[in-house]
Structure 1
Amino acid sequence: MVYETGNRTIDDAVRRVLDGERLDRRDGLALIAQPVEDLAAAADYVRSQFGDGTVDACSIVNAKAGNCAEDCGFCAQSAHFDTGIDTHGFLDPEEILEAAKRAERDGAQRFGIVVAEKGVSKERRPDEWEDVLRAIRLVRDETDVEVDASLGILTEEEAEILADEGLNHYNHNVETSPNYFPEIVDTHSFEDRVHTLEVAREAGMDLCAGVILGMGESPTDRVDAAVALQDVGISSLPVNILNPVAGTPLAEDLGGSADITTEEIVETIAVYRLLHPEARVRLTGGREVNLDADEQHLPFEAGADGMLTGDYLTTEGQSPGDDIEIVERAGLEPNTEANDFDPEAVKERTADDAAVDTAAGTATEVQTDD
């Protein structure tokens, strides 16, 4: 079957993707300049050819919050900025297990253990390292969700241990393009992030690495970030949209709102689908504050087939039931491969209890300072 929009640039790109060819930077730059309606339709078609018609949901827990020594300009957890968030050391592994069980109940297929620090360290913080491993084992053994983690920079030894413990995906976002990265972070480099991804991949873990849109980057930067990830070899590409937190440099620089439109969000998702046809392109943080309720289905009609459900690291999300309805509005179904849950039961429970705890993230309700 030949797919045609009547737009030669888009139709040629779709044909080449379906023939197994990898698109390059020139293709990405040409595509992101095309009409969003044609791009979205083409990306949705490519998703239908490579995917299974489902949206994969993941959830996270903020396992160690705040006091991070890095100076990422978007991050409320950096010790460099006064953002007023609650901070705590690494959670008791049993608390992480409870968050994973909430995620499982709410339909997540994956559960991510996230820490705010440059990197866990087997050598410098052995007690914390052992707690990380215990948490992985508990989630692995006592739930059906696949356990992932975002633990910062890794050594080769640490990566091999995590892989041996059954960690499925390692998350380490590149955030933006190599060119724009120094505008956002001073304390480490884009190359540092790529190196950690390579270490995790060599140890045998699948990779989850993506971006934050709306930080003042150009459309070219958005393309360049996705192109850089092609060589890394990711299977999940999370797309965050900046939710500026008061006290961070980006909130001050951008006046409290992300520098991106709905149309730009949709077209970027579509281009990412064409550049990464076999990855889960996952809509994650910031979607609720940057997309109106009646717009949130649009990225899933433009190639997205993954989402983060529940709360985020320092901000609240929306209910898992609402997320399922967004997926269904886009004509897709929740993925039940790893966690065979009942979507209708999740929606019903959400409707019955407006105050129900969401899957993870801030819902751990830890208020201690450490």
Structure 2
Amino acid sequence: MVYETGNPTVDDAVERVLAGERLDRTDGLALIAQPVEDLAPAADYVRSALGDGTVDACSIVNAKAGNCAEDCGFCAQSVHFDTGIETHGFLDPEEILDAAKRAERDGAQRFGIVVAEKGVSKERRPDEWEDVVRAIRLVRDETDVEVDASLGILTREEAEILAAEGINHYNHNIETSPRFFPEIVETHSFEDRVKTLELAKDVGMELCAGVILGMGETPTDRVEGAIALQDVGVSSLPVNILNPVAGTELGDELGDSADISTAEIVRTIAVYRLLHPEARVRLTGGREVNLAVDEQHLPFEAGADGILTGDYLTTGGQSPGDDIEVIERAGLEPNTETNEFDPSAVKARGENPHQPDEPVETATDNAELDD
């Protein structure tokens, strides 16, 4: 059956995607100019045709917080900004395991170990590197979640070790388009980030890499970012929405709100689905502060099929039970392929967080791939 909205640009894109064709930059620019009421159902149709009807949940732990030497204008953990966050060195691996067990209980299918620094270093900080590897092994061996990592720039030796230890996805967000990137970060380049992604993929890890919306980028930048991710080849595409933090460059510039509307968020998600038809398009940080409670389901009706659940690196999120309700409102269901869990039990704990059905705390703490 041919999908038809009556919008020839959108209908042609859907037909070509379902025929196995990869859309390009020209297509993306044409699509992002289309009405969201045409794009959203079309992208949802593609998701339903190529996906499994589930939303895949991940969670993360801020394994090393603050004092990062990089100057990313959105990041509360940069030493260049005075944001008043709590800082700490790399957590004890047992603490990371505890966080992974809470994430597992709350329905996460994958769990990411994240550090705030340009890159872990086996050579310069061997003790920290040993803790990283030990934490990976603990989570891998003692939970059912897949182990992911966001450890910054890697050497080939480090990447090969991580792949051998069972890291499933390596996260290294490109943040925005190549054009806009220097407006946000000056201490390293867009190319630096792409090289790390290429290295991680070359040694066998899947890639989780995405963007932050609402930093002042244009719709063209949003498309250019998605095209760059096509070139790299990602299986998980996290879409953060800026949550401006006071004291950061963008927090001081933009105030309390990201520079993007709800319609633009939904439109961008839909275009990303059409440009990345087989990836998990994952709604991540900043969604709770940029989308009203009765709007949070809209991206999942426009092609999104992944979510970051729990807290973020330096800011809190809503409960995993609330996230499941958002997923179900969109007519989807949580993924349970890797970690079988009872969604009704997670929702019940959200209503009664002290429910003593398991001797583990309920909230996934310290979790976003960007602030």
Instruction: Tell me the TM-score range normalised by the shorter chain.
Output: over 0.9
Q: What pairs with 1:1-370 in structure 2 (closer than 5 Å)?
A: 1-353=1-353, 357-361=362-366
2:58 and 2:250 map into 1 onto residues whose CA distance is 26
1:83 and 1:357 map into 2 onto residues whose CA distance is 28
Decide whether the 8 Å contact of 2:310 with 2:320 is kept in 1.
yes
1:110 and 1:191 map into 2 onto residues whose CA distance is 27
1:352 and 1:92 map into 2 onto residues whose CA distance is 29
2:21 and 2:363 map into 1 onto residues whose CA distance is 40
Q: In the alignment, residue 198 of structure 2 is paired with which amino acid?
A: E
Decide whether the 8 Å contact of 1:46 with 1:274 is kept in 2.
yes
After TM superposition, give the deviation of residue 362 of structure 1 in Å.
5.6
1:193 and 1:261 map into 2 onto residues whose CA distance is 28
After TM superposition, give the deviation of residue 256 of structure 1 in Å.
2.5
Spell out, residue by residue over 1:124-158, the C-alpha distance to the aligned partner (whole angstroms, 9 max, x if none): 00000000000000000000000000000001110
Decide whether the 8 Å contact of 1:236 with 1:281 is kept in 2.
yes
Q: Secondary structure of 1:346's partner? A: helix
2:354 and 2:273 map into 1 onto residues whose CA distance is 34
Decide whether the 8 Å contact of 2:106 with 2:362 is kept in 1.
no
Q: In the alignment, residue 84 of structure 2 is paired with which amino acid?
A: G
After TM superposition, give the deviation of residue 352 of structure 1 in Å.
1.2
Unaligned runs of 5+ in 2: 356-360
> Percent identity of the aligned residues?
83
Unaligned runs of 5+ in 1: 364-370
Query: Cα 1:354–1:185, aligned 2, differ >3 Å: closer, same or farther?
Result: farther
Q: Secondary structure of 2:288's partner? A: helix
Q: TM-score, normalised by structure 1?
A: 0.97
1:44 and 1:24 map into 2 onto residues whose CA distance is 19
Q: Secondary structure of 1:34's partner? A: coil
Q: In the alignment, residue 164 of structure 1 is paired with which amino acid?
A: A
Q: Secondary structure of 2:52's partner? A: coil
Q: TM-score, normalised by structure 2?
A: 0.97
Q: Secondary structure of 1:118's partner? A: coil
Spell out, residue by residue over 1:189-229, the C-alpha distance to the aligned partner (whole angstroms, 9 max, x if none): 00000000000000100000000000000000000000000
Spell out, residue by residue over 1:275-327, the C-alpha distance to the aligned partner (whole angstroms, 9 max, x if none): 00000000000000000000000000000000000000000000000000000
Q: Secondary structure of 2:255's partner? A: coil
Spell out, residue by residue over 1:30-67, the C-alpha distance to the aligned partner (whole angstroms, 9 max, x if none): 00000101100000000001100000000000000000
Instruction: Between 181-190 and 352-361, report the one with greater CA deviation.
Output: 352-361
Q: Secondary structure of 2:278's partner? A: coil
Decide whether the 8 Å contact of 1:100 with 1:360 is kept in 2.
no
Displaced runs of 4+ in structure 1, greater than 3 A? Answer: 354-357
Root-mean-square deviation (CA), in Å?
A: 1.1
2:55 and 2:183 map into 1 onto residues whose CA distance is 33
Decide whether the 8 Å contact of 1:40 with 1:303 is kept in 2.
yes
Decide whether the 8 Å contact of 1:327 with 1:333 is kept in 2.
yes
Decide whether the 8 Å contact of 2:105 with 2:362 is kept in 1.
no
Decide whether the 8 Å contact of 1:321 with 1:347 is kept in 2.
yes
1:319 and 1:109 map into 2 onto residues whose CA distance is 16
After TM superposition, give the deviation of residue 358 of structure 1 in Å.
1.9
